[in-house]
C-alpha cells in the first residue's frame, strides 16, 4: 500500500475494572453455569495484566475436558462488565520449554487460597453478637491470637500448595506439572468465547473461499454468503475466525464428502473481531470441512472494508460507487474470514449487481448470468493463493483503455469523465510490468492487471493482486494541468504498486511486524525502477529527501525498530509509517551498494523463488542473500543490527595524516538516562563508503565495514579532504569534527567536486548536528553560504527545508523580527535563483520541479516580485472565467497568490467544484488552505471533514497546509481537539492519515504551555489514543523544539 503521499499493551488493558472467574477446565455446561454464581471479588489489576497479555500455549478445547476439580459455588467469583467476562481456567499441563514464564501464577493461586480462607474468616468471626443484635468488641488477646493463627494457616496452605510445584530463580517461577492459566472472555450472547488471544488459533487453516456478494447502491447495504473450506491441523471442536460489523444470520458446517450441512452454534466476540463456530462433534486432524455463513451489512461510510463513494457524473448528477480497502484488517468487515496475512487461500468471487453497472475483482471475469429483473451475477475465475487483505472488488460505472503485454491484459479504469486522463498511466504501467518481469526472472502470474482510479480513497494506492486501486491524483495525468511533479508522483505510485505484485502478493510477510518486507521493498523497487526506466525524472533526489525526513523521525525516543512486535489494530495501523517504507528502502539501498547490484539481484531472485505463494520473515530474506554470498559475508548478522534496533548511528571522523579514525555512537535527540544506558553500547555493522580528493569519481568509492565501536582506516596517501557516505547511500550521519572547515572551503572553491547528493547530504548532516549540539549553528550557516553558486535541485531543496524549519519555529514563537532576518538570509542566498525562474513549463523535469518549489516559496513569503507577477496572472485567469491556460508548474504559486484576496478565494472555490482535473484541484486545495482569513480556514476544515464540497481524503493535506501559517497553526490544533472522535471514526486510530494529522497540527509548537496542552489532551482520551506512537512522537518533537529554541535563540540573534 502506498501511504497518503513498540509494542503497546493490548487494548483490553485500558479497562480498569476487569474481574475474573476461577475454574479448573470445566466442561461446556459448567462453563455456562459460571455466570449464575453470585459471589464477586475483584482481583488487583496488575495481576490481571500480568497473565492476560503473556503468550499462552494453545488451549485444550474446553468442550472436551471434563472438570477435574470442580470448585464449590462460593469459590467461583465473577463480575460481568459490559459484554465481557474474563474466566481463568486452571488445568494440569506441562509447560513447553519455549513458553514464557508465568510469574503471576503463584500470585494468582495465592490469591485464590486467600479468597477461600476469607470464607473461613466469615464463619469464625471474632465479633460476638449480643442477644439484642449488637456486636461486642473482642478482647485484644482474641484479636492477636486469631490474626496469628490466620497468618500461619494461610502461609502453610500457600507453602504446601506452591513450593513442591515451583522452583524459584531470578527469572521467576519455573513450574513442573503446574496449573495453566487461560483467560476466556464473554461472547455477546453471554456464553464463554473459547479463545482469548488476538491472533487466531493455528489448529484450523483455510484452503478456499466461495464468496457471493450483492451490494445495493440504492439502499447502500449488501448481503453476502461465504463457504470456506478449512483443513484441521489439531483436533478441535471450534473454528475461530474474523468478522467485524456483520449481521450473521446462519452458519452451517459440512464434513468432507458429507452431503448434509449441519447447523452450528456461533459465538461472537467483537473486541477481537472474532467469531467461533462451535462444531457438533470433534473436527479431525487432516480432514477438510466446509463452513457456510450467511450475513448482511451496510456499505461502510469510512475508507475501510467494502465502502460507498458518492460522486457527480458529467451531468452533475449524484452517483454511487462501491469499492474495497482491506489492508490491514478490513477484509473481515466484508466477509467472515481468517484475516491474517499468513492464512493464504484461493478465492472464487461472485457479485450480483445492477445490469447498468460493471464489476471488477482480482481475477478476470468468467461469466455473467441473469438473476432477476435488472440484476445479473458476475463470476470471476478462481484466484491464486493469496492473503485476505489482497482481495478486492469494485462496483461502479467505469470506462477503460487496455493494452496486452507478455500474455497479460493491462487496463486503466476511471469514471467516464476522466477517461481522457488515463493514457500516461497505461504506458507507464506496461513499461514497469515488463521491467519487473525481467529483473525478478518471474513472470507476472495473472492474465490481467487492472488499475482503477477511485474518486474517494484514503491511501495513495493499494496493491490488490490484479486489481490495484488508486486515488485519482496518483493515476490520472492531464496534459494541460499536471505538472512535472504530478508526473513524477503518478510514475512513483504505479512503480510502487506494481513492485508489490511480487513483494507482498507473491511473497507476503508472515505477520505485520515484518511489514517492511512488503513496504520497504516496494519503496526500494519503486525508485530503482524509476532510475532505470525514467532517468529524466531524477527520482533518486526524491528518495534522498524522504530518507532525510525518515531519519528525523527515527532520531526520536518514540521511534521503533523496522521489525517490531505488534498485536492490536492500532499497533498494526501504526506500522504503516516512514520507517517501514523509507527506512526499510534505505537499508535495502545500503545493502545493494555493499553487496554489489548483481549479488543483490541474485539474492532477491532466490528469496522470491523460495517463498512464492507463501509467507516469509526477515530472516528468510537474509538467508536467501547468504545463499549467494556463500560464506563470504554473513548478511543476516549484518542486517539484524539495523532492523531489530531503532535509530541509526552517528559516525565521527577524525583525520590525522594518512590515518582516518572512525567511531560510532547512537544519534539521538533528547538523550534520557534510561534509554542511553541501554543503547550506548549498541553496535551497528556499518558499511562505510568514502571518496577523497585524490579520486572523487563514483568508481573511486572505497568501502569499509565498521563492526566495532571504533577503528582506524589507513589511506595509501595523505589527502586534502575526505567525504563519507557517498551519495547518502548509507543510513547514518557523519560528523567531521575538525574537517568541517575543510569541506566548507571545498564547497566555496569548487562545489562540483562533490555530487549534488553529497552536497545535500552535507547540508542535512551539519544542521542535524547543530540541533544535537555537536556542531555550531554558525558553522551550518557558513556551509550554505556557497548556495548562490548552486544550481542542482537536491542541495537547494534541502537548504530551503532546513531554513524553513528555523523560520517556522521563530515565527510561531513570536520572534517575528528574527524570523524576518532568516527570510532575508534565504533571499540573499536564493534571490538571484528566484529571479532567474520563468513562468513557463519549459526546461528539463528537474529544472521544472525546482521552479515550482522556488516560486511557490517566494510567493508564499512575498519575496522579490513573485506575488505581484502571480497575482497579475491569476486576475487574467479569473477574468477569463478559468478558461485561460496557466503553466502547470507554476499553477500552485499563481493560485496561492490569488487566494490571498477574498474574491480570489471565492472564485477558486467555485472553480474547484467544477474542475474535472484532479491535478488542478489538488493545487487549488493547497491555495485555499493558504489564506489568512480565519473564518475561511475553519470552514475549509469543517467542510472537508463532512465531505460535502471537498472530499475527506484531502483533510490531512489541508490541516498540514493550514498548520504552516501563523494564524492557521493554532486553528488546526483546535480543530483536531474538537473533532477528535469524528476524525478517529472516519480514519481509524493509528492510520497513516491520523499520524499525519497529529504530526502536522502539533509540529510547530515550541513552548512548555503547548507541550502541557498536547500531553493533557491525549491523556484525557482513551488509553488507545494516548499510547499511540505518533502521539509520543508529537510530544518528543515539541520537547525538541523547546530545546532547540533554548539552545539557539541567542546564537541566532548574533548570527543574523
Residues 241 and 379 sit within 8 Å (Cβ to Cβ): no
* Spatial CA neighbour of 459 closest among 328, 554, 344, 367: 328
Q: How many Å apart are CA 870 and CA 891, to the nearest integer? A: 9
The continuous run of DSSP H or E covering 856 comes out as: helix 845-860
Q: Other CB atoms closer than 10 Å to residue 174's CB: what's the count?
A: 14
Instruction: For residue 746, report the phi and psi dihedrals to the nearest 5 degrees.
Output: -60, -45
Q: How many Å apart are CA 873 and CA 886, to the nearest integer? A: 8
- DSSP letter string, 544-574: HHHHHHHHHHHTSTT---SS----SHHHHHH
Return the half-sphere exposure (C-beta side, CA atoms, 13 A cut-off) of residue 160: 7
* Spatial CA neighbour of 397 closest among 348, 455, 450: 455
691 strand-pairing partners: 723
Rounded to a whole number, what is the largest CA-CA distance in the chain?
A: 108
Q: How many Å apart are CA 402 and CA 429, to the nearest integer? A: 11
55 flagged as catalytic? no
Return the half-sphere exposure (C-beta side, CA atoms, 13 A cut-off) of residue 991: 27
Residues 361 and 393 sit within 8 Å (Cβ to Cβ): yes
Q: How many Å apart are CA 656 and CA 640, to the nearest integer? A: 33
Q: C-alpha grid cell for residue 1008? A: 512548555
Q: Is 303 helix (H, G, I), strand (E, B) or coil?
A: coil
Q: C-alpha grid cell for residue 764? A: 542535512
Task: Say what the alpha-carbon torsion angle 240, 243, 244, 250 is, to the nearest 10 degrees.
Answer: -120
Taking the CA atoms of 455, 456, 457 and 463 in sequence, report the sign of the dihedral they define: negative
Q: C-alpha grid cell for residue 791? A: 544550481
* Spatial CA neighbour of 618 closest among 641, 651, 650, 652: 641
Q: How many Å apart are CA 420 and CA 479, to the nearest integer? A: 10
* Spatial CA neighbour of 213 closest among 341, 276, 289, 306: 306
Catalytic residue among 497, 570, 574, 918: 497
How far is residue 484 from each of residues 27, 430, 478, 745, 917, measured CA to CA in Å? 68, 20, 11, 35, 15
799-804-807 Cα angle (round to 5): 130
* Spatial CA neighbour of 62 closest among 200, 286, 238: 238
Return the half-sphere exposure (C-beta side, CA atoms, 13 A cut-off) of residue 155: 6
Q: Is 334 helix (H, G, I), strand (E, B) or coil?
A: coil
Q: C-alpha grid cell for residue 848? A: 521544472
- DSSP letter string, 770-795: HHHTSS-HHHHHHHGGGGGG---HHH
Q: Specify the length of the chain in residues.
A: 1056
The residues annotated with a catalytic role in the active site are 497
Amino acid at each position: 500500500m502506498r501511504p497518503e503521499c513498540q509494542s503497546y499493551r493490548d487494548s483490553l488493558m485500558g479497562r480498569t475494572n476487569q474481574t475474573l472467574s476461577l475454574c479448573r477446565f470445566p466442561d461446556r455446561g459448567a462453563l455456562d453455569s459460571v455466570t449464575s454464581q453470585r459471589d464477586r471479588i475483584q482481583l488487583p489489576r496488575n495481576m490481571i495484566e500480568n497473565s492476560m497479555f503473556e503468550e499462552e500455549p494453545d488451549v485444550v478445547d474446553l468442550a472436551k475436558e471434563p472438570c477435574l476439580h470442580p470448585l464449590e459455588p462460593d469459590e467461583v467469583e465473577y463480575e460481568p462488565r459490559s459484554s465481557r467476562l474474563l474466566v481463568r481456567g486452571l488445568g494440569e499441563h506441562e509447560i513447553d520449554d519455549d513458553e514464557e514464564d508465568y510469574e503471576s501464577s503463584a500470585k494468582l493461586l495465592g490469591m485464590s487460597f486467600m479468597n477461600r480462607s476469607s470464607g473461613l474468616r466469615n464463619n469464625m468471626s471474632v465479633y460476638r453478637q449480643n442477644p439484642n443484635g449488637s456486636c461486642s468488641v473482642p478482647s485484644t488477646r482474641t484479636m492477636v491470637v486469631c490474626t496469628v493463627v490466620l497468618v500461619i494457616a494461610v502461609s502453610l496452605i500457600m507453602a504446601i500448595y506452591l513450593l513442591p510445584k515451583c522452583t524459584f530463580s531470578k527469572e521467576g517461577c519455573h513450574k513442573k506439572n503446574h496449573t495453566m492459566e487461560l483467560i476466556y472472555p464473554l461472547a455477546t450472547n453471554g456464553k464463554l468465547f473459547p479463545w482469548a488471544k488476538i491472533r487466531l488459533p493455528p489448529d484450523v487453516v483455510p484452503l478456499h473461499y466461495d464468496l457471493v456478494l450483492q451490494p445495493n447502491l440504492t439502499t447502500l447495504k449488501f448481503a453476502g454468503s461465504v463457504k470456506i473450506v478449512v483443513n484441521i491441523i489439531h483436533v478441535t471442536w471450534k473454528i475461530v475466525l474474523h468478522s467485524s460489523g456483520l449481521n450473521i444470520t446462519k452458519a452451517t458446517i459440512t464434513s468432507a464428502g458429507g452431503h448434509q450441512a449441519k447447523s452450528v452454534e456461533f459465538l461472537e466476540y467483537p473486541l477481537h473481531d472474532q467469531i467461533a463456530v462451535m462444531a457438533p462433534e470433534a473436527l479431525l486432524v487432516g480432514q477438510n470441512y466446509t463452513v457456510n455463513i450467511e450475513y448482511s451489512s451496510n456499505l461502510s461510510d469510512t475508507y475501510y472494508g467494502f465502502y460507498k463513494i458518492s460522486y457527480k457524473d458529467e451531468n452533475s448528477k449524484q452517483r454511487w460507487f462501491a469499492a474495497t480497502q482491506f489492508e490491514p484488517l478490513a477484509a473481515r468487515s466484508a466477509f467472515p474470514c481468517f484475516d491474517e496475512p499468513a492464512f493464504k487461500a484461493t478465492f472464487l468471487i461472485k457479485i450480483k449487481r445492477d445490469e447498468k453497472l460493471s464489476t471488477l475483482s482480482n481475477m478476470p471475469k468468467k461469466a455473467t448470468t441473469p438473476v432477476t429483473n435488472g440484476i445479473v451475477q458476475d463470476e470471476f475465475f478462481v484466484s491464486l493463493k493469496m492473503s485476505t487483505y489482497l482481495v478486492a472488488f469494485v462496483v461502479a460505472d467505469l470506462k477503460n483503455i487496455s493494452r496486452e503485454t507478455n500474455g497479460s491484459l493491462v487496463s486503466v479504469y476511471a469514471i467516464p469523465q476522466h477517461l481522457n486522463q488515463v493514457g500516461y498511466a497505461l504506458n507507464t504501467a506496461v513499461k514497469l510490468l515488463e521491467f519487473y518481469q525481467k529483473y525478478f526472472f518471474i513472470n507476472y502470474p495473472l492474465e490481467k492487471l487492472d488499475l482503477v482510479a477511485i474518486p474517494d480513497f484514503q491511501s495513495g494506492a493499494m496493491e490488490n493482486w490484479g486489481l490495484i486501486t488508486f486515488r485519482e491524483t496518483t493515476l490520472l495525468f492531464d496534459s494541460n494541468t499536471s505538472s512535472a511533479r504530478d508526473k513524477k508522483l503518478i510514475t512513483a505510485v504505479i512503480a510502487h504498486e506494481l513492485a508489490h505484485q511480487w513483494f507482498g502478493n507473491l511473497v507476503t510477510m508472515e505477520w505485520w511486524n515484518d511489514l517492511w518486507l512488503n513496504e520497504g521493498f516496494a519503496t526500494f523497487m519503486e525508485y530503482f525502477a524509476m532510475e532505470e526506466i525514467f532517468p529524466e525524472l531524477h527520482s533518486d533526489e526524491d528518495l534522498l529527501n524522504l530518507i532525510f525526513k525518515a531519519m528525523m523521525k527515527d532520531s526520536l525516543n518514540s521511534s521503533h525498530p523496522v521489525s517490531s512486535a505488534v498485536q492490536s489494530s492500532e499497533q498494526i495501523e501504526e506500522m504503516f509509517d516512514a520507517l517501514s517504507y523509507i527506512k526499510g528502502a534505505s537499508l535495502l539501498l545500503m545493502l545493494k551498494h555493499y553487496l554489489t547490484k548483481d549479488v543483490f539481484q541474485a539474492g532477491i531472485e532466490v528469496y522470491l523463488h523460495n517463498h512464492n505463494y507463501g509467507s516469509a520473515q526477515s530472516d528468510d530474506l537474509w538467508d536467501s542473500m547468504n545463499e549467494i554470498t556463500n560464506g563470504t559475508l554473513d548478511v543476516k548478522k549484518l542486517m539484524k543490527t539495523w532492523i531489530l534496533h531503532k535509530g541509526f548511528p552517528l559516525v565521527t571522523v577524525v583525520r590525522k595524516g594518512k590515518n582516518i579514525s572512525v567511531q560510532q555512537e547512537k544519534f539521538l535527540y533528547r538523550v534520557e538516562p534510561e534509554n542511553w544506558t541501554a543503547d550506548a553500547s549498541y553496535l551497528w555493522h556499518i558499511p562505510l563508503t568514502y571518496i577523497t580528493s585524490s579520486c572523487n569519481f563514483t568508481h573511486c568509492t572505497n568501502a569499509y565495514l565498521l563492526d566495532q565501536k571504533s577503528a582506524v582506516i589507513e589511506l595509501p596517501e595523505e589527502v586534502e579532504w575526505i567525504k563519507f557516505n557517498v551519495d547518502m547511500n548509507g543510513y547514518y550521519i557523519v560528523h567531521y569534527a575538525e574537517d568541517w572547515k575543510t569541506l566548507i572551503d571545498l564547497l566555496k572553491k569548487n562545489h562540483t567536486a562533490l555530487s549534488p547528493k553529497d552536497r545535500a547530504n552535507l547540508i542535512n548532516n551539519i544542521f542535524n548536528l547543530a540541533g544535537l549540539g555537536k556542531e555550531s549553528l554558525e558553522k551550518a550557516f557558513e556551509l550554505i553560504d556557497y548556495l548562490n553558486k548552486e544550481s542542482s535541485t537536491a542541495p537547494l531543496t534541502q537548504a530551503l527545508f532546513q531554513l524553513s524549519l528555523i523560520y517556522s519555529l521563530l515565527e510561531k514563537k513570536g520572534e517575528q523580527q528574527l524570523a524576518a532576518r532568516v527570510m532575508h538570509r534565504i533571499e540573499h542566498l536564493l534571490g538571484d535563483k528566484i529571479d532567474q525562474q520563468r513562468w513557463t513549463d519549459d526546461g528539463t523535469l528537474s529544472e521544472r520541479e525546482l521552479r515550482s518549489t522556488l516560486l511557490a516559496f517566494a510567493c508564499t513569503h512575498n519575496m522579490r516580485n513573485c506575488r505581484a507577477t502571480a497575482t497579475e496572472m491569476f486576475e487574467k485567469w479569473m477574468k477569463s472565467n478559468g478558461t485561460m491556460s496557466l503553466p502547470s508548474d507554476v499553477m500552485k504559486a499563481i493560485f496561492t497568490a490569488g487566494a490571498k484576496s477574498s474574491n480570489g478565494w471565492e472564485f477558486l472555490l467555485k472553480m474547484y467544484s467544477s474542475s474535472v482535473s484532479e491535478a488542478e484541484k489538488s493545487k487549488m486545495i493547497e491555495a485555499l488552505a493558504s489564506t489568512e482569513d480565519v473564518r475561511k480556514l475553519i470552514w475549509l476544515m469543517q467542510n472537508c471533514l463532512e465531505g460535502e464540497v471537498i472530499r475527506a481524503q484531502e483533510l490531512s493535506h489541508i490541516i498540514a497546509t493550514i498548520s504552516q501559517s501563523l494564524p492557521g497553526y493554532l486553528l488546526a490544533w483546535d480543530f483536531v481537539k474538537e473533532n477528535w472522535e469524528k476524525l478517529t471514526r472516519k480514519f481509524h486510530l493509528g492510520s497513516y492519515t491520523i499520524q499525519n494529522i497529529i504530526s502536522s497540527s502539533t509540529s510547530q509548537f515550541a513552548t512548555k504551555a503547548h507541550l502541557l496542552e498536547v500531553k493533557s489532551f491525549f491523556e484525557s482520551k482513551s488509553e488507545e489514543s494516548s499510547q499511540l506512537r505518533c502521539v509520543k512522537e508529537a510530544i518528543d518533537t515539541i520537547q525538541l523544539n523547546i530545546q532547540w529554541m533554548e539552545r539557539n535563540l541567542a546564537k541566532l540573534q548574533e548570527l543574523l
